[in-house]
Chain A
Amino acid sequence: MKANKILEKLARLMRFGLLVGIGFIIVYPLLRQISAAVMHPDDMYDLTVNWIPRTLTTMNFKVAWEMLDYPRALLNTLGTALLLSTLELASTMIIGYGFARWRYPGSNVVFAMVLLSIIIPPQMVMVPLFLNFRYFDLFGLLPEPGINLIGSFWPMVLMALTGTAKRSGLFIFITRNFFRGMSTSLEEAAYVDGAGHLKTFFRIMVPNATPIAMIVFLFSFVWQWNDLFYTDLFMQGRNLLQIGLLSINAQYNYPWANKAVEGTYIQLVNNAGMLLYILPVLILYAFLQRYFIESIEKTGLVG
């Protein structure tokens, strides 16, 4: 009996150790950012300083704030992410519903394309896609050399609207699974009462799909916020946090940056900028973590 209790205590201790260790590895990069972001540049050359700076400063944040044009870039990024995730939510819900409820000749092939769109790496189509948007001629309808859509919202808006943005395929798959699991009796009742298909979809099905819509929207928003690849490719020159951050990054990636003091200092600014950029997402996560963590159970992927 006693031996059992000791074993149980040991197991609990081991579990605690494992959780703390793994957790530390996960938050490690974040902790390093925080440590560097409040560090005075003088401490960079102090070998005795590793985690806790000798002199605390808010200077790095101030410089990053200005370099990023923070308030305005934050609003722009927020607006872009909200716009794109709303569009992506609308399109993937409609498309997913279409796959869940009706079949037509070739609908299986189209659904296979959805799955294919999940596994095609964006780098595969990066070059042609960039050139098509750079010289956008609506597939031959507009005169040569076409319009330059790079640097505008249009490439990403078009992709979000058609369910082909980053990970849209995944959302279509999830919404399809969800609608398939919903009983058709509600819709039939609506049809009997004389509602059309669109009306039924928007008035009956969408309100009933709030849990899944919430998941799609939140993930879409967060992934949109974190996206550097497409944003950098299509929205060059816009006042967005992602673009601003990459330009801070670019400054210290130059070889001369390591020689001058100013060049080294830019690293601390970069750390502060990174925190300013990720902070809104972390705040969102802190308040809505339940939705993110319970998401998988609600997607209909399991059981």
Chain B
Amino acid sequence: MLKRLKLSLNAQRSLLGFLFTLPFILGFGAFLAYPFVQSVIFSLSKLTIVPTGYVLDFVGLDNYRHAVFVDPRFRQVFVETVVSMAMKIPVILIFSFFAANLLNQKFRGRTMARVIFFLPVIMGAEITLRMQQADYMQQAMSLSESGLIPLSALQEFLGSLKLPMVFVNFIFAAINEIPMIIRSSGIQILIFLAALQSIPKSLYEAAHMEGATGWEAFWKITFPLISPLLLVNVVYTIVDSFTAPDNVLLELIQDAAWGGAGFGVSTAMAWIYFSMIIVILAITMVLVGREVHYES
């Protein structure tokens, strides 16, 4: 069919590329770009549902003002979400790298261990979260998030040591987050694992022959060779954490849309959050990007 059009080879190739990717261009326009622009307009308007659809009244920055100054929870939840995200990301990365190293060793039952470590990806965070919420025992006794560790006793113990309260609270929060961190590391572990397996054994043998210690081999071989995937993992972790279903801020945004303050305020909140995410992504990509070593 294309041959009959008598196009130059270059034009033919361009047309083919365009045709194959056309579904995405249409979909992106209709289901992402258009709603994206609409959400800007919504965030600046008051939206009312009428029998024939909806009407928009332009209200300027009122929705943003409402989100920041009037809404009782938004400011606090926003700061908490951003801070906890910034704290969790390095911990998730370190843990997943550590776990990947653990799973890369040879031992009996390795496949089984990998199957279990990857289970959270299969079950999905939404289901896992609902399972936790449905755990009546935990609700009844109001234990920690995991229900595994008697946190109140630990806090009392640390308090009795006369440690500064800030420090105690930090440890308290960190322990509480352990299950969450383990469960959101599935994909990252796999990526690191694949990266570790792709490093040729001969490099380590050569380094060993030259008298390098394990520590040196790690920093001179392992780290540079996995660094491109470090960037991938950083970006993945950030994206994953701001779309996670246990993200309280997203819950707040959703609640505002269907119940509370209305569609306008909800989209305004979403926009504030999204701008913050873009800033965080840009900063980390610049910071981590500098450390990345690409094989030429």
Closest partner residue, chain A, to B52 (CB atom): A145
Query: In the complex, A164→B33 CA distance in Å?
Result: 11
Given contacts A104-B14, A125-B36, A302-B195, contact A144 B24 (CB under 8 A): no
Report the bound CA distance from A197 to B18 in whole Å.
13
* B18 closest partner in A (C-beta): A104
- From B73-81, B108-116, B208-216, the one touching the partner chain is B108-116
Query: Chain B residues with Cβ under 8 A from A118's Cβ?
Result: 239
* Set of chain A residues within 8 Å of B126, measured between Cβ atoms: 226-229
Pick the contact of B1: A196, A245, A268 (CB < 8 A): A196
Contact of A202 with B by CB under 8 A:
no
| Contact bitstring B20-44, A, C-beta under 8 A = 1, else 0 | 1101111110111111101100100
A101 to chain B, nearest CB (A): 7
* B281–chain A nearest beta-carbon distance, Å: 7
Cβ–Cβ < 8 Å partners of B254 in chain A: 123, 126
Contacts of B30 in A (CB 8 A): 139, 158, 162
List of B residues within 8 angstroms of A297 by Cβ: 194, 197-198
Residue ID in chain A nearest B263 by CB atoms: A127
User: Taking A249-B130, A278-B123 as contacts, is the C-beta distance between A98 and B19 under 8 angstroms?
Assistant: yes
Check B116–A27 contact: CB distance below 8 A. yes
B92 at the binding interface (Cβ < 8 Å)? no
| Given the contacts A23-B117, A27-B116, A172-B24, A121 and B135 also touching, CB distance less than 8 Å | no
Fill in one digit per residue for B89-130: 1 if any A CB lies within 8 Å of its CB, else 0.
Answer: 000000000010010010100010111111111111011101
The residues of B that contact A19 with a CB separation of less than 8 Å are 102, 113
Chain B contacts of A32 at CB under 8 A?
131, 135, 137-138, 147
In the assembled complex, the Cα of A30 lies from the Cα of B35 at a distance in Å of: 37
CB-nearest residue of chain A to B27: A162
A302 contacts which chain B residues (CB < 8 A)?
191, 194-195, 198, 229
Q: Find out whether the CB atom of A162 lies under 8 angstroms from the CB atom of B17.
A: no
Contact partner of B23 among A163, A227, A293, A301, CB < 8 A? A163
A123 touches B253 (CB 8 A): yes
How many angstroms between the C-alpha atoms of A4 and B102 in the bound complex? 20
In this complex, what residue of B is CB-closest to A176?
A: B21
B binding-site residues for A, Cβ under 8 Å: 1-2, 13-21, 23-28, 30-36, 38-39, 42, 51-54, 99, 102, 105, 107, 111, 113-124, 126-128, 130-138, 146-148, 178-179, 182-183, 187, 190-191, 193-195, 197-198, 229, 232, 239, 242-243, 245, 250, 253-254, 257, 263, 266-267, 270-271, 273-274, 277, 281
In the complex, chain A residues whose CB is within 8 Å of the CB of B14 = 102-105
- CB pair B102–A162 under 8 Å, yes or no, is no
Contact of A36 with B by CB under 8 A: yes
User: How far is the CB of A290 from the nearest CB of chain B, in Å?
Assistant: 8
Whole-angstrom CA separation of A297 from B114 in the bound complex:
14
Residues of A within 8 A of B127 (CB): 226, 228, 274, 277-278
**Considering residues A128, A229, A245, which has the most beta carbons from chain B within 10 angstroms of its beta carbon?**
A128
> Is the Cβ of A292 less than 8 Å from the Cβ of B118?
yes
In contact, B102 and A144 (Cβ under 8 angstroms): no
| CA of A135 to CA of B42, assembled, Å | 16
Whether the Cβ atoms of A296 and B194 lie closer than 8 Å is yes
Cβ–Cβ contact A114 & B24, under 8 A: yes
Dominant SS among interface residues on chain A: helix
Given A119-B281, A145-B53, check contact A125 B17 (CB 8 Å): no
- CB of B77, distance to nearest CB on chain A (Å): 14
Return the CB mask of A149-190 against B: 1 if under 8 Å, else 0. 000000000110111100000001000000000000000000
Known: A164-B27, A229-B245, A297-B197. 20 other contacts (CB 8 A): A22-B182, A25-B179, A26-B119, A29-B135, A36-B135, A36-B136, A94-B23, A104-B14, A104-B15, A123-B254, A127-B42, A162-B30, A164-B32, A226-B123, A226-B126, A229-B126, A249-B130, A270-B134, A274-B127, A303-B198
What number of A-B contacts does a CB cutoff of 8 Å give? 263
Closest Cβ of chain A: how far from B235's Cβ, in Å?
A: 8
CB distance from B138 to the nearest CB of A (A): 8
**Which residues of chain A are near B35, meaning CB under 8 Å?**
125, 128-129, 132
Closest to A33 in B: B131
Residue of chain B at shortest CB distance from A122: B243
Verify if A208 is at the interface (C-beta below 8 Å from B). no
Find out whether the CB atom of B36 lies under 8 angstroms from the CB atom of A158.
Answer: no
Q: Is the CB of B28 within 8 A of A164?
A: yes
A residues 183-227 touching B (CB-CB < 8 Å): 196-197, 222-223, 226-227
A selection of 30 A-B contacts at a CB cut-off of 8 Å is A15-B107, A26-B119, A26-B120, A27-B119, A28-B147, A33-B131, A36-B136, A98-B20, A102-B16, A103-B14, A104-B14, A110-B28, A114-B24, A119-B277, A123-B253, A125-B36, A127-B263, A131-B53, A145-B52, A158-B31, A159-B31, A162-B23, A229-B126, A274-B130, A278-B123, A285-B122, A293-B111, A295-B190, A296-B187, A303-B195
Find the A residue at minimum CB distance from B124.
Answer: A226
A270 to B132 alpha-carbon distance, docked (Å): 12
**A289, CB-defined interface residue at 8 Å:** yes
Closest Cβ of chain A to B179, distance in Å, is 5
**In contact, A123 and B114 (Cβ under 8 angstroms):** no
- For the complex, is A124 an interface residue (Cβ under 8 Å from B)? yes
Distance between Cα atoms of A179 and B59 in the complex (Å): 49
Question: B24 to A110, Cβ gap below 8 A?
Answer: yes
Q: Within A28-69, which residues are at the interface with B (CB < 8 Å)? A: 28-30, 32-33, 36, 44, 50
Q: In the complex, are the beta carbons of B122 and A281 less than 8 A apart? A: yes
